[in-house]
Amino acid sequence: MPTLHKPAIFLPDNIITLEETLDFAKKEFKNNPILEKALKLITNTGVKKRHLIQPIELSLQHPGFGYRNSVFELESKKHVPSVVIEALENAHVKNSDISAIIYVSCSGFMMPSLTAWLINKMGFNNNTVQIPIAQLGCAAGGAAINRAHDFILAHPGANVLIVSCEFCSLSYQPTDNDIGSLLSDGLFGDAITAAVVTSEGGSGIDLQKNSSYLIPDTDEWIRYDVKDTGFHFRLDKRVPGTMEPLAPVMRELTKGHGWDIEELDYYIIHAGGPRILDDLCKYLRVKPEKFDFSRDTLVNCGNIASSVVFEAYRRMCEENYITHGDKGIIAGFGPGITAEMNLSLGK
């Protein structure tokens, strides 16, 4: 079975705390009639600190899409290589062992993809397959794992490198003052993660079965408006309630594999916000402490989009939380509304 190894992570040095976030909101939106509601929602996310690729003073400026995308390209090329090297070391593989690179991001655009740059600059084989995924948002972390799983099943002996690069702060829009935008300004953080999926050998979790699901007629609920000033995040107030229809889908996936969703040993869940985790506990009938690693990621990093599932799993690896034979699920959620799920087994 394909094995997902321990991920690596880069968190920028610029840190903004909850208190600083609230102070900036009070200053920048002091005349906004919904400010008090936004401050309450930001506080209720539970996010204590976030890492930003630029100091908050620069993020508060409005330089336009071109400049912001240039920052995205510059900083990704600066920091991705070290994360990739660590991920390869975690899996005990070399650049030449990699058959495909899956690159996911929803916070910047490059063409050719960063995959081409990595192949040229880091010595990957010229016939390495490139699989960039740009429009699945937070669900892309789960999707990347699933596509790596599929690739290895289709190409026995292959190894896949996954890179997630998310600089969500580059989409901060100081002129957007709706409740969804204000909430996102206090929720999202920046990170780069990378992980390797190998055909065989090593430690980690064995990927057993994957599945995708899209909730009908919700494609407008999480989206971008793309303007000259960049990506404008739009969040429908109905999004927090989407775990109720997704919980039965997750339950059926595990049941079809002979497992019980309520009795898994670990849950690697996208921490989009506390409501998502709370609702999943409720509808899956899972004890809240089972989601502690996802909650820790949210508290200490914020919502880092497609990188969340990798950071939650990395935290599990650091604590030796998953042991041989443990049953678990990976689940990422994002625009669509889309769920990407994978059943896995501790090695």
- Active-site positions read 138
Give the whole-angstrom CA distance, residue 204 versus residue 310: 12
Give the whole-angstrom CA distance, residue 332 versus residue 195: 16
Give the whole-angstrom CA distance, residue 239 versus residue 8: 30
Closest CA to 195 of 342, 52, 24: 342
> Is 59 in contact with 52 (CB distance < 8 Å)?
yes
101 strand-pairing partners: 130, 161
C-alpha separations of 64 from 73, 167, 172, 189, 198 in Å: 15, 15, 11, 20, 40
Give the whole-angstrom CA distance, residue 240 versus residue 252: 21
Give the whole-angstrom CA distance, residue 70 versus residue 80: 15
Closest CA to 48 of 302, 254, 295, 325: 302
How many alpha carbons fall within 13 Å on the CB side of residue 55?
Answer: 2
Q: Token pair of 226, please?
A: 């793309």
